[in-house]
Structures are given as structure tokens and as C-alpha cells.
Amino acid sequence: MATQPTAGGPEPAKPVLLVYVSTINDESGNPRRGWIAYDGQGRALNFITEGYAGRDAIPPAWTAVPSTGAIGITPMTYKHLVTALREPDPGRGARREAR
């Protein structure tokens, strides 16, 4: 993903648009909403899950980035966004290969 700087690497891409998407709540009643962050070339940079935080889920450096109104998506699309675009959890190590 292009949102985390690396030592000696290029400056991370900054989003120019946040597209707000939502679908029905999951089986436990938890919300499934969030923002897709796009760069100036139209590439998806990241997916920010809203949870119960509302707009506070958006990183402080990105709060001035324009966002769209809600766009309805399917639960399957939401699942894809969460798994394909979210930043890796920095607390989790790489998977170990089976011996």
C-alpha cells in the first residue's frame, strides 16, 4: 500500500478523494461502512473502516480530503475491500511457512 512511508523510500501517496461506501450490517448487527481512499491517478490506496467511530476513523492528516455521499455496495464487495485494501496490521508478523 502507498500510505506508509519507508526509510529512504518515496513519499507516500496522498489521497485526493474518499469514497464513502456502505452495506447492510453483519449478522451480529455491526456496521459495514468505510471510505476508499483514491490518489490523483484514480488508484485505490487504502480502505478505512468506519465501525462506530464515524468520521473520526479517518486519519487526522486526511480529514480535509473531500468525500462523497454514501454509495451502496454488496456485502461481498465490502468484504473484498476490507481484505484487499486495508493496511496490514503492524502487530502481526509474516506467516511462517509450513515445514
In a domain, 66, yes or no: yes
pTM: 0.75
In a domain, 6, yes or no: no
In a domain, 26, yes or no: yes
pLDDT of residue 1: 45
Per-residue pLDDT of the chain (99 residues; tens, 9 = 90+): 444 444 555 666 789 999 999 999 999 999 999 999 999 999 999 999 999 999 999 999 999 999 999 999 999 999 999 999 876 554 444 443 444
In a domain, 99, yes or no: no
Overall domain count for the chain: 1
What the block records as the C-alpha cell of 28 is 451480529
Q: CB neighbours (10 Å) of residue 47?
A: 21
